[in-house]
Structure 1
Amino acid sequence: MISTYTTLLRTPSAWRFLTPGLVARLPYAMLGLGIVLLIKDTTGSYGMAGAVSAAAAVALAIVGPQTGRLADKYGQAAVLVPGALVHGAAVAALIVCAKTGAPTWTFFATAVAAGASVPQIGSMVRARWVAKLEGQPLLPTAFAFESVTDEFTFVVGPVVATFLATGIDPAFGLGVEAVLTVAGSLAFAAQRSTAPARRPADGTPHASAIRVAGVKVLVGAFVCIGAVFGSIQVSITAFAEESGRAGLAGALYAVFAGGSLIAGAVYGAMAWRTGAQRRLVVAFAALALGTAPLWAVPNIMVMVPVALICGLALAPTIITGYTLVEGLVPAAAKTEAFTWLTGAIGLGLAFGSTFAGIATDEFGASPAFVLTFAAAAIGLLVVAAGRRSLVPAKRAVVDVTPVDAAPLALGR
């Protein structure tokens, strides 16, 4: 396993984009939880906190794919630089509004701006790997490495956000998120030599990735994955508080992400004989089984191993999804395709955090975990029903009709 990843990391110029990319991606896992902790502290409501966090996630889900389309067309740097600066300003505005007791609508307005401007670093890194390794055996390993990196950020990010919020002030978690996002994104954008080539301006209509049937299935499945993330994020925060150990919320979430990190590292280094379509169904089945007992966990000591086991199925599910989508779309739409999946996770986060927040306020943390299992189970049904459309064609052929309301395709 180590030799496989060592070979991957010896790819020429890889570290030029991996290092700043890691700095820029680390805050991604801090944003949602940071908003929850800040708004809960200033309003006292998990429902409000979940709703504001959801507003940011919905904005990310809607705008993210459009950002990917622009990056394919104009280049990554042209999109990253202004987006990162807007994000930093939006997060600062959200902090000011929350701390000064501004009207509730300002929480949502600034959260939407912050979510919409989140730099799509993960998708852009994957697009750079494709540009370097397309058609080579190491490409699936690269996707696995990126999923492990994502999970690493979800191990470290919540811990940092919770430590800063509970140890210093809730505003510090979001403040650090903004600084790291801006600095990392600008450094990543400066590495122009490793960026994929822009789509030629030949007058040919751009084929949207969402027109591919298999991409629609994966988007629906990834919405469910995001709902797992979002519901756990809110429910674990409430669970830790109900247990009298509010400061452990980030650590518990890190255990969940840690299980995913371990599984992802092993999964990505293995040579699989079974098809990716079948593996995706199995991974979702394992995720449903892993989330089933969460509602019955009695205390933090029991939650630690349950969260670890629950997380083991997550990274393999995500890795397989990204592997499948890469083969479903043409080269000119790959960044957009990756951002559809990232945006779908964000949309799922919105649903999960909103409904988990409402359920937590009404019934407590344990019943809210039922939503986590429901999200995983629905994801299993989606991929099982759409399995045939996930088989890559020799080259994806898509409808080039302009996408005027692309987010609506999530439900089609």
Structure 2
Amino acid sequence: MASTVTSKPSRPGYGQLLRTPGAWAFLLPGFAARLPFAMLIISIVLLVEHTTGSYGIAGAVSAATGVSMAVFAPLNGKYADRFGQRAVLLPGVLLHTASGLTLTVLALTDAPLWALFVAAVPTGASVPQAGPMVRARWGVKLQGSPLMTTATAFESVTDELTFVLGPLFATALCTSVDPAAGLLTEAGLTLVGGLLFAAQKATQPVPSRRHAPTRVDLSSQSSDSGANAAHARVEPVSPLRVPGVRVLIVAFLGIGSVFGGMQVSLAAFTESIGQPGLNGVLYGVFAAGNMLAGVACGAIVWKAAPQKRLLVGYIALTITASGLWAAQSPALLAGIGLLVGMSIAPGLITGYTLVERLVPPTGRTEAFTLLTGAVALGQAAAVTVAGQLEDRAWDGAGFLVPLGGTALALLTLVTLRSRLAPPAASRTVARGVGHRPPVSVD
């Protein structure tokens, strides 16, 4: 995948991508399956805060959900790579629906806090990893195609579209219909969307267990085929052994801190001014900025290397997040939130682009879910800390959480940015990890 361009940019656009034969067969069900996750955390926060009166407790319960998802998401991705996406999706959506309904009932019946935590764990563990699975299906469709970069950007835009619609929808349900309506709807949509997505068997990647184990005699390979030989040798290697993936995980924790901190802090802010219905609107503005920036990132033919783009994106994210805590009006908060959202998309898109360079196809679903899990873990930590700050400090103190999380992520990227560079072919063969897939590269 090229990091520089010639004088005449020729990257295919979104229109050509969406005309890929068979793409819509998994895109529409995939969107239906991933939208509910954008509703989950805010629905739990609003329901539990309503029944307990504490943002701290609400943040802790939703954090249990996020931590559980972060722990189990990579396992879901690993098993999807090994046994097939359908084999993981079917039991997952059934468990998630049952767990979400249980959590709703327990919250409404004033069950003890430990019971809420017990229900929150399987609710998070069973979240369908539809986004990473769709990305893996694009990899099958577009292996070696220049459309792959466009597909990466398109998927990030789709993620952000869900984070525009999901919180807005969940907040409207919880504030206008019933505090439990958001979580109930999330469970129902997960069931329907997940089953529809699982039914698309033709487009799922072939499970890796169907590939016969191969050992390659490297001495018989020419230098031009070194990457292919490395691919055959490293099929079983976990993406966690790739140094660049570990750096990206830390970076994506920072993005998660923005999502979690914004959700809790915006809910507390709008309640403090007596306009709780504005919560979904303000979060929607934030997510809309993310989506618009994602569209632009996918349309631009970049000359800068992705490692540099990632660093610049995190600098912008840290700077914009530093102004959130000082906003005193909805209009000002919406404006700053828009800028924060616009700064997230470059980091997300570039991070997923780097995964395409660092991880072989047989491990990409697991790698994508590691990043998704990192966002969920950062979100879980953020809602916990932000909830405590809103309860114990001043109104708006929770907005310090996105600043702290992004600053730590930026420090990590500055310190370890050299690990994000794909290794040369010769080093790849020797070490057996972090190689590029067998596609056209610079």
Name the counterpart of 1:63: 72
1:9-408 equivalences in 2 (<5 Å): 9-201=18-210, 202=212, 206-393=236-423, 394=425, 397=431
Structure 1 Cα separation of the partners of residues 182 and 394 of structure 2: 25
Q: Which moved more, 1:76-85 or 1:103-112?
A: 103-112
- Fraction of identical pairs, as percent: 50
Maintained 8 Å contact 1:243/1:300: no
1:2–1:185 CA distance, 2 compared to 1 (3 A): farther
Structure 2 Cα separation of the partners of residues 170 and 230 of structure 1: 19
Structure 2 Cα separation of the partners of residues 200 and 368 of structure 1: 46
Structure 2 Cα separation of the partners of residues 155 and 334 of structure 1: 26
Where does structure 1 lack aligned partners over 5 or more consecutive residues? 401-412
Q: CA deviation at 1:3?
A: 7.3
* TM-score in terms of structure 1 length: 0.94
Q: Which moved more, 1:384-393 or 1:121-130?
A: 384-393
Structure with greater Cα Rg: 2
Q: CA deviation at 1:398?
A: 5.1
Structure 2 Cα separation of the partners of residues 271 and 156 of structure 1: 28
Name the counterpart of 1:403: none
Instruction: Return the letter of the residue paired with 1:17.
Output: F
Structure 1 Cα separation of the partners of residues 77 and 432 of structure 2: 17
Q: CA deviation at 1:135?
A: 2.2
Instruction: Return the letter of the residue paired with 2:129.
Output: Q
1:399–1:317 CA distance, 2 compared to 1 (3 A): closer
Maintained 8 Å contact 1:8/1:141: yes
Encode CA deviations 1:39-75: one digit per residue, 9 max, x unaligned. 0000000000000000000000000001101000000
Maintained 8 Å contact 1:212/1:398: no
Structure 2 Cα separation of the partners of residues 206 and 97 of structure 1: 42
Structure 2 Cα separation of the partners of residues 172 and 324 of structure 1: 39
* TM-score in terms of structure 2 length: 0.88
Structure 1 Cα separation of the partners of residues 330 and 353 of structure 2: 35
Maintained 8 Å contact 2:11/2:146: no
Q: Which moved more, 1:325-334 or 1:284-293?
A: 325-334
Instruction: Return the letter of the residue paired with 2:149.
Output: P
Maintained 8 Å contact 2:14/2:150: yes
Q: CA deviation at 1:200?
A: 3.6
Maintained 8 Å contact 1:208/1:398: no
Q: CA deviation at 1:203?
A: 5.2
1:398–1:229 CA distance, 2 compared to 1 (3 A): farther
Q: CA deviation at 1:228?
A: 1.1
Q: Which moved more, 1:203-212 or 1:92-101?
A: 203-212
Where does structure 2 lack aligned partners over 5 or more consecutive residues? 1-9, 215-234, 435-442
Q: CA deviation at 1:84?
A: 0.3
**SS of equivalent to 1:365:** coil
1:360–1:118 CA distance, 2 compared to 1 (3 A): same
**SS of equivalent to 1:26:** helix
Superposition CA RMSD, Å: 1.7
Structure 1 Cα separation of the partners of residues 144 and 408 of structure 2: 33
Q: CA deviation at 1:101?
A: 1.2
**SS of equivalent to 1:272:** coil
Encode CA deviations 1:217-259: one digit per residue, 9 max, x unaligned. 0001111110111111101110111111111111111110000
Runs of 4+ in 1 over 6 A off after TM superposition: none
How many residues are treated as equivalent by the alignment? 400
Structure 1 Cα separation of the partners of residues 303 and 167 of structure 2: 36
Q: Which moved more, 1:350-359 or 1:194-203?
A: 194-203
Q: Which moved more, 1:99-108 or 1:192-201?
A: 192-201
Maintained 8 Å contact 2:250/2:374: yes
**SS of equivalent to 2:206:** coil
Q: Which moved more, 1:51-60 or 1:382-391?
A: 382-391
Encode CA deviations 1:80-138: one digit per residue, 9 max, x unaligned. 00000000000000000000111111111111110000000000000001111122211
Maintained 8 Å contact 1:243/1:299: no
Structure 1 Cα separation of the partners of residues 209 and 42 of structure 2: 40
Instruction: Return the letter of the residue paired with 2:111.
Output: A
Name the counterpart of 2:225: none
